[in-house]
Amino acid sequence: VKPDPDVNVVAAGVEAYESCNADLLVALGGGSVIDTAKAILYFVWERHKARGEKLEKPCFVAIPSTSGTGSEVTNFSVISAKGAKNVLIDEFIAPDVALLDSTCIRNVPKAVIADTGMDVLVHALEAYVSKDATDFTDALAEKTAELIFAHLKKLYDDPANDNARDRVQNASCIAGVAFTNANLGITHSMAHALGGQFHVPHGLANAVLLPYAIRFNSFDAGVRYRELARIVGLPHSNVEEGTSALIGAV
């Protein structure tokens, strides 16, 4: 599976799946790999429904090898077609089992650590200011932000840091639970458009856009950004200071 997986690899996967009617589906890799497995499962299901057949869902196991998308615990899949990214959302495609083993991300390049780690932060911040946020998703988003601000730079500076690697991987999964329940926002909308057209790494596109999205959202969500600034230990004497401090930290 290549980055920004497209419908062709999904179609090939559907044919491979139907040739054996597997009762176990394992996705080992980054968000693109897990999203591809989800899309394969989704279109196999749609095929069976179109034929009037019942599909017994296979046990779906997701093992992430990057710390970014949180795809191992979400019901989202992003697939490219004709230069555009399309989002599938369905409870049927959520993995049944997620295995977090940070040895799987031990040899990830530093650029990928940065890009995927910032994707985690975007998931947390967008879930936190979402109109669908709840006390439960807030708690997850706040913890994610704390972990990323405390450990992402440590992991980037020293990829052999086992503790930092564990904590960033945990943050990725926690953020996945937050945004799959609270949804995302304009940062991701624009990042998907950029990625589909220019093949910019998803996390990098998110990271570049996030400061501008925070400023744009601050007219409605400034109080929330100030609270998050307080939680992660940034200056926050008023809404403007908290928002600006958070943008600066990003």
- Structure confidence at residue 191 (pLDDT): 92
Q: Coil, strand or helix: which one is 91?
A: helix
Residue that is written with structure tokens 């958070």 in the block: 246
Cα–Cα dist 165/163, whole Å:
5
State the amino acid at position 182 in one-letter form. A
pLDDT digits (tens, 9 = 90+) for 192-236: 888 878 888 889 999 999 999 999 999 999 999 999 999 999 999
- Structure confidence at residue 247 (pLDDT): 97
- Structure confidence at residue 218 (pLDDT): 94
Cα–Cα dist 138/134, whole Å:
6
State the amino acid at position 1 in one-letter form. V
Q: Coil, strand or helix: which one is 106?
A: coil
Which residues of the chain fall short of a pLDDT of 70? none
Residue that is written with structure tokens 């591809």 in the block: 36
- Structure confidence at residue 119 (pLDDT): 94
Residue 77: both structure tokens together: 């899949």
The Cα angle at residue 24 between residues 18 and 29, in degrees rounded to 5: 100
- Structure confidence at residue 246 (pLDDT): 96
- Structure confidence at residue 13 (pLDDT): 94
The 10 Å Cβ neighbour count of residue 46 is 14
- Structure confidence at residue 208 (pLDDT): 95
